[in-house]
Amino acid sequence: MWGKMSARIIQVRPSRNPRWQKQGGWEVFEAEGVSPVYCGSTGREQALSYARQRAGYGRAEIQVFDEAGNLAETLSHTSNQRVPTRRSRTLGDSCGCAMGARFLAVALTASTAWYGWCWYSLRLSIGGAFLRIMMWAFIAACVGKTVGIVEFRLRSRRWRVKPIPARLPRQRALKVFR
């Protein structure tokens, strides 16, 4: 089956547009109208990175051309699975719902077992036991959600503390002559 499927060709080449040539631009040509340009000293590396990321979505062949327009190298990606990127590894439970659900399940199980075991000795009615179980479940879900959000932010490093300057810039003192 793989022999019959054709691979997509992605070309990484110096830009043909004079505007981008002056800036050392490299373009990633995937299809007509799909050709982002990366400029500067790291333009080639950025273009290759983009091409590898795009190749991760299926069968693809990356053709890298040199400044003269000759084929320098060919990189192939034959997997039909998506290549994990830095962004996809950090995405996940950003709202804390999964962690909240885990805490909720543990709280429901533990409080049901506790109040079921102590029901007779605490002399609780069924409604009283039910309300206490729901109270602990709600508290645990809130704590779990908070823990999930904090864990996500720490994992994705979204909390960036801006450093406070050690000292403020000095103002020049005016000399008063008497």
Quote the CA–CA distance of 123 and 33 in Å, as a whole number.
74
CB contact set of 100 (below 8 Å; sequence gap of 6+): 141, 142, 144, 145, 148
Residues 143 and 103 in one domain: yes
Residues 133 and 104 in one domain: yes
Domain around 61: 8-83
145 touches 97 (CB < 8 A): yes
Give the H/E segment covering residue 96.
none
Give the H/E segment covering residue 9.
strand 8-14
At 142 the pLDDT is 92
Whether 25 is covered by a domain: the verdict is: yes
Residues 69 and 31 in one domain: yes
Residues 97 and 135 in one domain: yes
Banded pLDDT at 170 (limits 50, 70, 90): low
Residues 79 and 97 in one domain: no
Res. 18: pLDDT tops 60: yes
Across 2-6, 96-100, 132-136, which has the greatest mean pLDDT? 132-136
Quote the CA–CA distance of 106 and 25 in Å, as a whole number.
56
The strand ranges marked E within 26-175 are 26-29, 37-38, 60-65, 71-77
Mean pLDDT of 69-87: 61
Number of compact structural domains in the chain: 2
Res. 88: pLDDT tops 70: no
Residues 48 and 79 in one domain: yes
Banded pLDDT at 158 (limits 50, 70, 90): low
Whether 2 is covered by a domain: the verdict is: no
